[in-house]
Structure 1
């Protein structure tokens, strides 16, 4: 059984080096990174503002969009501000406590994001399979409870990551822009087998559980749709899920790539892996408004209403 102990941590700071071999280009790399981050924040906060202000949008589907926006803001904000401090001001130091806190919030936000996507699949399944009971089954209160369950699920899974025993000796240099789990684990001078396996098992347990729930929800969804003879109705029903599937296609392959390559991708250049990891945290929040806001009629109309006032 894993031992939890913080006594082996040195009191001095860690040092995040940014992107190895591309230190001279940090300022240039920061330009698209900061643009993506600002666009993601503006888009998601705009979505939250519009949904909060408009009583007509106080519905389960839009509550789910708000929860998705919050998880994406949380994920990107856990990573980007410190990354920009490294790129712009060469502030590479971070306390041990700050590093472990960042690690915790990055992964809690990511796991909660997955739980929200599962809840959205459940919402679509009920809407198509049992539309007459949708209003009684899918309520704002129930969606809020499911979101809270997703958050509560993430905490006990992720909390052991920063607390598993690690022994840091002279090397406190982390070749990354943030305190992701594996970059921190790899600078340990002790046995990291338990840490590596725990991170890998948790990642695949959560992904397999969530993908199984996705498959079940969409299996029931497709069965219900195929019972309808009209091809036009098929197109209408399937179009209601394109947004959700688009976000899934961006989220899970990127997450799996990051998880697997840290452990087995020895031939991948470190700077390429770090850039792709950062883009995962940056692009998903930016596309949230594009995928959902721009393609959902009610949100699009409300966004146009508030934009025209400016």
Structure 2
């Protein structure tokens, strides 16, 4: 299970995030990027963050540590921003926290070189979880102390938004042509040979168990949270064995609009209003 902490202070919002995540301090003296259950994208994005983030970590990829954060909505009473107040009030209870990486920079392919081996692992992993949100438009990667870190896995496993069609959706190929690491010649075959054998039923069961019950209850078509967790295992396990055969890497189509689903692109601007102008730019260095 993920470590549980309690939020003690809301520091600042990260407005470039579609769900308006925020930096918070907690009772363990840690600082986290917090993602809220009350955000418009819903609790399934938090489920995806946990399963995919923890899976990536166990496969040896760099993902900031995840925790669950208890939030008392009273914290929002002193916030001058009405948007933040509304979000905090709507998110009482258990939320998700990602370890804040101070001084990190958003990934820039012109400034940071990635080896074919590392690029292959990230592309293969994103193909496994069907990540539609790590393109050149929005890399969702940070560089911290000279290393590449993966963040923001809420737009993955699209099939869990429509469980009746999950098997067919999970069997689909993955177009990595617009992936942020496509220009680095990702060695997908080597990545598959190394990582696919590690994705076992036991491993997937373990990461699915990290999702709190309260984010899984009342899912239509499932009579228990354990049954729902099992469905995540059943979707990912066969995909891991063969997805490397169905990854497409063509020249990027920069004239094409984002292929992210509507539920994601509708929230591409900060929740729930348009972006505001800020003199401070350091928030961008700690994207989400």
Question: Would you call these one fold, judging by a TM-score over 0.5?
Answer: no
More strand by share: 2
Higher relative contact order (CA 8 A, sep 6+): 1
TM (norm. structure 1) is: 0.25
TM (norm. structure 2) is: 0.26
